[in-house]
Amino acid sequence: MSRKWIGLAGSIVWIAILAVAANAFEADFDPSIYNPDVAEVVSFEVCEPCLGGDGFHYSWDFDADGIPEMETNDTLV
Buried b (16+ CB within 10 A) or exposed e, 42-65: eebebeeeeeeeeeeebeeeeeee
For the stretch 16-71, pLDDT in tens is: 776 665 555 566 666 777 788 888 887 777 776 776 666 777 888 888 888 888 88
Number of domains in the chain: 1
Asked if residue 65 is part of any domain, the answer here is yes
Query: Domain range holding 45?
Result: 25-77
Is there a domain that residue 77 lies in?
Answer: yes
pTM value > 0.85: no
**Inside any domain, residue 73:** yes
Residue 41's pLDDT is 81
pLDDT tier, 6 (very low <50, low <70, confident <90, very high otherwise): confident
Estimate to the nearest angstrom the gap between the alpha carbon of 66 and the chain centroid. 13
In a domain, 52, yes or no: yes
In a domain, 7, yes or no: no
Has residue 14 been placed in a domain? no
